[in-house]
Structure 1
């Protein structure tokens, strides 16, 4: 494939309706970039995630904020306590991140082709973003759920296991496939809104930033300007992702802790939500917003840099600009 063939279609500009035809190699590069950016950022955020999870599920931590909770973990468990669950976090988001980013590129292209023409794709770009992020996240969560269950068990039950391998093995041995996927429904309820906020809000932030620029200005943007746009878009998208997914994130922690009544998963989620109330469902939102803003912004910045380093083609853009068809 020539370099010209790899140029992305930026729908919203005058010209023919052209959708890039990514190869298997291209998708493998998207997967590798997504895997690396997610495992690095989530791994770095492990201490914040430990404190956030404790605040959600441990009554002794309800009175703490991010800083005081971190100090309490260090005082009671040592600095190593802040790295509890690092193994399943790194591995889980390695596979989930690769599947999510590559999947989003794939499904955005597929839904754009289904639209059939440029005007329709631009008009329904929100639906394309929502659909692509949701479907990509669904398949990515099949890979993530057992590792996330292991991580939460390690964080919530001190002494449960020594790390990823022993924790995963014990959970699989004692509770089987059902235990490993006990949190699949709540993790979908958490991760799909998260992905929607992450990708859709990021797309519209970039569109807003570029809408009033001339083609020449955009083409000549310096590295600093591009970095600022990506950073700002990622932070806003991170805040949106945290808020949209917070209730399900709290319920996921409770489910993996073993809380709630017996019965079907929808019934358990309903009862736990009623018991927690609005305030309880949003416990730990502050630390999580900080964590998620850093995660999402860092992921988009690293994803772009890793793609460039791997020689991957740019993704498809469906931005509506001033000269776009209305």
Structure 2
């Protein structure tokens, strides 16, 4: 016998997470993990060939030739060399970057009146993203060092990131895991400042030109705006951060024992010149544009799923 409507269980209401509460920042931190770890590790084959061509432009004729050569010589699995270090490193970085950005953005805005904060919102976005990335790179750097060494050393330097960690610490000490921190900051901080600030302003411009205000749009439509804004921001990020990206790859693979960062950078630059800083830019535009768009798609989808507003005005 069917139950009466009055006896049907009432739907359980999802508890609302208060904005800017510890739970809110924890949720944004988890969203950063979900957005960054899987997306960065998914494009490991692109990153592998890009890094190897940055270190040795003559190694492969093209990206396609690189993948064909790797598969032919070492098997399909080897195109994912560096996958583990990438996943762990960028999961940690994503947690600090997204959670930290939300925290610093609100903190810096709270120091000003609402009118002043709105007028200087671009400076707030820049400061919040730089602060978050500065911290995030401390967690990313050891895994990035292992990944680059694993990808650019032939045969590969280590079997996995745990093996790589042990080898670097045994040979160079803990400092060996952080020898690329300064160039990583030089690459990632401008990248993240561009990523978050351009995203916020691009999304703001998109909403200003749509027939409905954001509050009257469906969550699906808002997430679509995030995806478009993320891709456009990603193209800008790729160009801004590419020279430092090349130098990170070079320093991690070619810095000599006892050599200072400035000496290594100067020596490497004298070999590759200004043109060499732009090796691999087209593939990085595709990689970073795709990464950034899907990260904002995943991050804002996650926020929407747990009942938080999507990013941007």
TM-score, with structure 1 as normaliser: 0.85
| 1:128 and 2:137 correspond | no
Corresponding residue of 1:44 = 42
Q: C-alpha separation between the residues in 2 aligned to 1:221 and 1:307? A: 16
What is the CA distance between 1:39 and its match in structure 2?
0.4
Q: C-alpha separation between the residues in 1 aligned to 2:91 and 2:246? A: 23
What is the CA distance between 1:3 and its match in structure 2?
7.8
Distance change >3 Å, CA 85–CA 5, structure 1 → 2: closer
Q: C-alpha separation between the residues in 2 aligned to 1:72 and 1:160? A: 18
Corresponding residue of 1:26 = 24
Q: Deviations over 1:257-295 (max 9, x none)?
A: 024695421332233223322210010111111110111
Which sections of structure 1, spanning at least 5 residues, go unmatched?
Answer: 7-19, 320-326
Verify the 8 A CA contact 2:71 2:79 in the aligned structure 1. Answer: yes
Q: C-alpha separation between the residues in 2 aligned to 1:4 and 1:176? A: 47
| 1:164 and 2:161 correspond | yes
| Mapping of residues 285-304 of structure 1, within 5 Å | 285-304=281-300
Corresponding residue of 2:217 = 221
Q: Deviations over 1:174-197 (max 9, x none)?
A: 111221000000000010111012
2:229 to 227, 233, 237: 233
Corresponding residue of 2:309 = 314
Q: Deviations over 1:138-178 (max 9, x none)?
A: 00000000000000111111232111111111111111122
What is the CA distance between 1:74 and its match in structure 2?
1.6
Corresponding residue of 1:56 = 54
TM-score, with structure 2 as normaliser: 0.89
Greater RCO (Cα-Cα under 8 Å, separation 6 or more): 1
2:249 to 253, 263, 271: 253
Q: C-alpha separation between the residues in 2 aligned to 1:174 and 1:262? A: 12
Q: C-alpha separation between the residues in 2 aligned to 1:77 and 1:308? A: 43
Q: C-alpha separation between the residues in 2 aligned to 1:123 and 1:249? A: 33
1:96 to 85, 93, 96: 93
What is the CA distance between 1:71 and its match in structure 2?
1.8
- RMSD after superposition: 2.2
- Structure with higher Rg: it is 2
| 1:279 and 2:279 correspond | no
Q: Matched residue pairs, number?
A: 299
Runs of 4+ with >6 A deviation: 2-5
Q: C-alpha separation between the residues in 1 aligned to 2:113 and 2:232? A: 30
What is the CA distance between 1:5 and its match in structure 2?
8.6
Corresponding residue SS for 1:267: helix
